[in-house]
Amino acid sequence: MTRGNQRDKAREKTLKEAAKKKSVNTLSGTAFQRKKEDDALKMREKQAKADAKKATEAAGGGKKK
């Protein structure tokens, strides 16, 4: 049953390569920091929008279901 063994070996090799690719950070220090700040800004904007929507619904501006 060499064919089954080949399949298992190939699967193990592929899993190892996939694990290596996930753990590699391709961003430099400044680029990583900039990305973190951009992501944080987007999340703050999203949260502010959600808070504004909740406030309008609480004030009676929302639609009733």
pTM (two decimals)? 0.49
pLDDT for the residue numbered 13? 94
- CA separation for the pair 34, 31 (Å, rounded): 5
2 pLDDT band (50/70/90 cuts)?
Answer: low
Q: What digits encode the pLDDT tens for the residues 28-55?
A: 889 889 999 999 999 999 999 999 999 9
Interatomic CA distance for residues 44 and 55, integer angstroms: 16
Would you list the domain boundaries of the chain?
Answer: 2-58
Nearest Cα to Cα of residue 27 among 41, 37, 42, 40 = 37
- CA 51 remoteness from chain centre: 23
Main-chain phi, psi angles of 64, to 5 degrees: -90, 140
